[in-house]
Amino acid sequence: MPLTPTVPPPPPWLLMFSAADRDALTDSARTAAELLADGAPPEAALPARLLSAGHDTERLAVAAAETAGLVEGLSFFADGLPSPRWVSGRADGAAARTAWCFGGHGSQWPGMGRALLNWAPEAAKVLRELDVLLPNGVIEPLLSAADGELGPPDTTQPLIFAVQVATAHWLWSLGLRPEAVVGHSLGEVAAAHVAGALTLEDAARVVAVRSRLLAKAGGGGAMATVNLDRHTVARRCEQVPGTVVVAAHSAPRQTVVTGESEATRALVSALEAEGVRCRLIRINAASHSPFVDSVLPQLRAELADLAPATPRVPWVSTVDADPDPVGLATADYWARNLRRPVRFTQAVSTLARRGIRAYVEIGPHPVLIPPIRETLRAEGVDDPLVIASGQRQTPESVSLLRLLGALYCRGLEIPALEGYVHAEVTTATDQMPPTHRADRG
């Protein structure tokens, strides 16, 4: 049976335009904004006929939950003002090869996943399956989470994982496929499933065991991001009384530290006093540190019978020095995943050197976008596309349409987009711009 929405979902719209040059694109946006501001419904902007935009054209996409938001996005673009409601680009083919990236703890927010349940049938189907597979369920926690923290790792991390894989299945339903996948810490479980190494059932089992044992080993630990290179941070960790270590190499100048709560906060305070930007991560555990050593034997034992398949999609590891190791997704691999520092910048560098210029972070809220961009700059990648599927306090229906629009702007034609919209692609510059309405659910 379909899920009954607790609150009617907003009616998100996606408007997509193409033109031969920026001036023509600006004129189309301004004309559409004036039309909608005068009271016309978005569908009134549908062209008499649709023409393929082809490639090597200027493109614009505007996504919003209401007509006023569309007018704002169109007007801001036409006036040269930044806004999260619009994205533009040249259809240069960058989006043809896209890496899907899955973040770890810290992306959660109360209200995440609700629009997926109400709006995206393929995502809702996966969430219903996970509601049975995960010990604490999925649907009730997502619908009932109040403002504030969602809870300890064994409560929060399965929900992050659920939103990640449900979103990935929705993208699959549109015919989208990644060129490669990469995960940061917890995010590797979703990456393993999307790569084809683990079934949904096995991936749910891994995240349940991993998060439960991490909560058991928490002991009041803390984590924080530090905007310094990992070598400098490692030296500073050694100068702090107590135990604090490097937990992740996220970017050339972004490092995650973890350890005893008091020691971690002392390091952060000392660095902030020197002008170094730091941010505490919302977790009371110390993964990727000696504090999890006590639970690793149990993790290996509980997952000993895992029989992962050979990945169908390239999965770049953030655990081992070799980004393409053997033995991915085994019990021993997940023990290393929980204990070793995360080699995320190594993974992104590997993808960049393989020619990938488009990176989609899949999850409730972006936590990987800044480190991805920093790593790509260090690798000299020209004009990459870096976009997220979710945004805190933004319904997934809107943020997902914004993602599709960003991919479209960089040349991707989305095979099954007509299932979520009234019209398919773009128009010539002498046509009224096409309007797309997300009306399924």
Tokens of 381: 């990648």
All structural domains of the chain with their residue ranges: 13-92+398-437, 98-216+289-379, 221-281
Percent of the chain, pLDDT > 70? 86
Produce one character per residue of 327-340: b if its CB has 16 or more CB atoms within 10 Å, e if not: ebbbbebbbebbbe
Domain 13-92+398-437 matches domain 98-216+289-379 at the CATH topology level: no
Torsion angle in degrees (nearest 10) through CA of 90, 175, 439, 168 = -100
Confidence of residue 416 (pLDDT cuts 50, 70, 90): low
Q: What is the fold, at CATH topology level, of the domain defined by 221-281?
A: Alpha-Beta Plaits (3.30.70)
pLDDT tens by residue, 319-359: 998 888 888 999 999 999 999 999 999 999 999 999 999 99
Sheet holding 254-260, edge to edge: 244-251, 254-260, 221-226, 278-281
pLDDT > 70? residue 9: no
Task: Report the chain's terminal Cα–Cα distance, integer Å.
Answer: 13
pLDDT > 80? residue 104: yes
Confidence of residue 288 (pLDDT cuts 50, 70, 90): very high
For 263-291, what is the mean pLDDT? 90
**Domain at 98-216+289-379: CATH architecture:** 3-Layer(aba) Sandwich (3.40)
DSSP code per residue over 6-72: SSPPP--EEEEEEESSHHHHHHHHHHHHHHHHTT--GGGG--SS-B---SS-EEEEEEESSHHHHHH
pLDDT tens by residue, 374-396: 999 999 999 999 999 999 988 88
DSSP code per residue over 336-383: HHHHSPB-HHHHHHHHHHTT--EEEE-SSS-SSHHHHHHHHHHTT--S
Q: What is the pLDDT, as a whole number, of residue 99? A: 98
Cα gap 103→106, rounded to integer Å: 8
C-beta separation of 328 from 311 below 8 A:
yes
Pairing of strands 315-316, 278-281: unpaired
CB atoms within 10 A of CB 404: 25
CB atoms within 10 A of CB 32: 28
Cα gap 211→3, rounded to integer Å: 27
CA torsion sign for 282, 212, 150, 317 is: positive
For 48-77, what is the mean pLDDT? 77
Q: What is the pLDDT, as a whole number, of residue 36? A: 92
Q: What is the pLDDT, as a whole number, of residue 264? A: 92
Cα gap 147→402, rounded to integer Å: 25
Least Cα distance to 107 among 375, 370, 405, 377 occurs for 370
Confidence of residue 45 (pLDDT cuts 50, 70, 90): low
* CATH of segment(s) 13-92+398-437: 3.30.70.3290
CB atoms within 10 A of CB 182: 29
Confidence of residue 417 (pLDDT cuts 50, 70, 90): low
More confident: 223 or 97:
97
Confidence of residue 220 (pLDDT cuts 50, 70, 90): low
For 289-317, what is the mean pLDDT? 95
Q: What is the pLDDT, as a whole number, of residue 43? A: 72
For 237-243, what is the mean pLDDT? 92
Q: What is the pLDDT, as a whole number, of residue 261? A: 87
Is 220 buried (19+), middle (13-18) or exposed (0-12) by CB count in 10 A?
exposed
CA 200 to mean position of chain CA atoms: 18
Pairing of strands 315-316, 435-437: unpaired
Average per-residue pLDDT for the chain: 86
The vertex-315 CA angle with 288 and 173, nearest 5°, equals 115
pLDDT > 50? residue 3: no
pTM: 0.89
Of the candidate ranges 152-156, 187-191, 193-197, the one whose mean pLDDT is the lowest: 152-156
Please tell me the total number of residues recorded for the chain in this structure. 441
Cα gap 75→70, rounded to integer Å: 8
Sequence-separated (6 or more) residues with CB below 8 Å from residue 196: 309, 310, 311, 312, 313
Cα gap 382→376, rounded to integer Å: 8
φ/ψ of 161, rounded to 5, equals: -55, -45
Of the candidate ranges 25-34, 49-58, 242-251, 403-412, the one whose mean pLDDT is the lowest: 49-58
Q: What is the pLDDT, as a whole number, of residue 439? A: 36
| Residue 62, beta-bridge partner list | 15, 86
Q: What is the pLDDT, as a whole number, of residue 281? A: 83
For 148-168, what is the mean pLDDT? 87
pLDDT > 80? residue 426: no
Q: What is the pLDDT, as a whole number, of residue 431? A: 32
